[in-house]
Amino acid sequence: MMVIGPLMIEHRLIERMVNILDKELQRAGKNGIINPADLDSFVEFMRVYADKCHHGKEEGILFAELGRKDVSREHRKVILELVSDHIFGRSQVAKLVALNADYKAGDKGKLKEITEVFSGLAVFYTAHIRKEDKDFFIPVMRYFSPAEHQAMLKASNEFDSNMDLAKYQEMVLSMEKALK
């Protein structure tokens, strides 16, 4: 197995959370309210699972190893775009934290801004994941030998051993059930 296997599996869980987000937006549009606890869960998921765990492995393992290779100009450009995407995602999640704090404090006018940021994140993550899965991950695997693939996979597994990934799988499952 290559290191991109687990990364692509993680993408599927992130997509499920984005789908939950989309349904939450639809419900907020109908009801005029959003559950601040759901927003807190989304923020935690994006900060810990999507960013610290997933992006951490992309940047700290895959991109770092690609940085040691003589990759094409196009692939170097995509790496920079992906890192920039990660920074943008972090900034939008931070924006949600501030908006949610105001919303919890009674500023119901923040709902419009929350839904705008949510909508932007849903579009952003869909495009970001598609870029990685379809245009980047598979082509860059050719830069690595089988031994290098195994070393990256081992590093990825060690990275994961310090995370409670089951918590985030359960979080998504629980939120999906609550939406039904």
- Spans of all domains in the chain: 4-179
Separation CA 94–CA 179 (nearest Å) = 25
Phi and psi for 164 in degrees, rounded to 5?
Answer: -100, 75
Q: What is the pTM of this model?
A: 0.92
Q: What is the CATH number of domain 4-179?
A: 1.20.120.520
CB atoms inside a 10 Å sphere around CB 127? 11
Q: What is the pLDDT of residues 30-84, one digit of tens each?
A: 888 888 888 899 999 999 999 999 999 999 999 999 999 999 999 999 999 999 9
Give the number of other CB atoms < 10 A from CB of residue 74: 11
Tell me the C-alpha distance between 107 and 32, whole Å: 13
